[in-house]
Homo-oligomer: A and B are copies of this chain.
């Protein structure tokens, strides 16, 4: 039975999110085809290309281990531009503040935004601030939109996966989601769980400069985690994917927390990770490059594209004990307000 109101699951990044997009938002709003649903739009401009993207951040709590809503909002949009292969250049900031928010918290958050923008080399060029009455919002919501330019001719998009591509990731999965959950619930989960929020544009620039056309897809597995993101790419590229459970890096502390909380790390959000689809023959070189970057020291090869031209492509997981099961998108809501 379908709902006639917005549900939390509509914001999960998973099945319900895609249903909302496919049935209401995309047909009536933008008409963007599935094939072209990427983290950034790429626009023609005077013979060049521009990348353009937007994200709103409603994370709860607004301060958490390793970061806050401010640097998260900058890194997230920087990464969406990087995933298109673009170099982020300009950022807008839209603040929605709840009456009563301590100005000291606001100052901490905007300072973090500036620091994150400086780190990523992107300029904050325009902004807007709205205030709503107490109870009309929860502390602070931030929208960041970004513009990027292209320093190379390569196209990187979610429909680029090809049979034989290897799938790499730049480090362990699930850190961000578990850090947020721990912060929200006041759980003591050990000292090494903190958000992985980081700007990936430098790593992506290195990757594209060295490996250019061998790189077919880049996407950051945020809401819905690695599983949902790979399922999106499988649909978009019409390919099947096989993941190796043993190869997917997960910190023991995150794995332990997931076991206790009944979560699968494959579905937990990341904010500093990128899934890289590369030609088979480039895979070991790309892995070396990732491992040589400060944000990729624990990079791993986690799967491959096994067959092509598959409408509604599937993602399979070869489990640690040798079985094989189908991985689907996140169904319903696992962790609301994770970003």
Determine whether the beta carbon of A127 is less than 8 Å from that of B29: yes
In the complex the two chains form, what is the Cα distance from A21 to B103 in whole Å? Answer: 12
Q: Count this chain's copies in the assembly.
A: 2
In the complex the two chains form, what is the Cα distance from A28 to B107 in whole Å? Answer: 7
Check if A133 is an interface residue, CB within 8 A of chain B. yes
Determine whether the beta carbon of A25 is less than 8 Å from that of B126: no
User: Pick the contact of A25 from B9, B32, B129 — CB < 8 Å?
Assistant: B129
Contacts of A97 in B (CB 8 A): 6, 10-11
Check if A281 is an interface residue, CB within 8 A of chain B. no
Determine whether the beta carbon of B29 is less than 8 Å from that of A131: no
> Chain B nearest CB: distance from A100 CB in Å?
5
In the complex the two chains form, what is the Cα distance from A124 to B27 in whole Å? Answer: 12
| Chain A 122-162 residues near chain B, CB threshold 8 A | 123-133, 135-138, 141, 143, 145, 147, 149
**Residue of A30, A40, A113 most packed against chain B (CB within 10 A):** A30
Contacts of A131 in B (CB 8 A): 6-12, 336
In the complex the two chains form, what is the Cα distance from A125 to B336 in whole Å? Answer: 26
Determine whether the beta carbon of A132 is less than 8 Å from that of B94: no
Check if A54 is an interface residue, CB within 8 A of chain B. yes
Check if A244 is an interface residue, CB within 8 A of chain B. no
In the complex the two chains form, what is the Cα distance from A90 to B40 in whole Å? Answer: 12
Determine whether the beta carbon of B133 is less than 8 Å from that of A30: no
User: Pick the contact of A24 from B43, B53, B56, B107 — CB < 8 Å?
Assistant: B107
| Chain A 1-26 residues near chain B, CB threshold 8 A | 3-12, 17, 20-21, 24-25
> Chain B nearest CB: distance from A57 CB in Å?
8
A-B contacts, 15 of them at CB < 8 A, read A4-B103, A6-B101, A6-B131, A7-B131, A8-B99, A24-B103, A24-B110, A41-B126, A46-B46, A53-B126, A54-B94, A54-B127, A55-B128, A58-B136, A60-B132
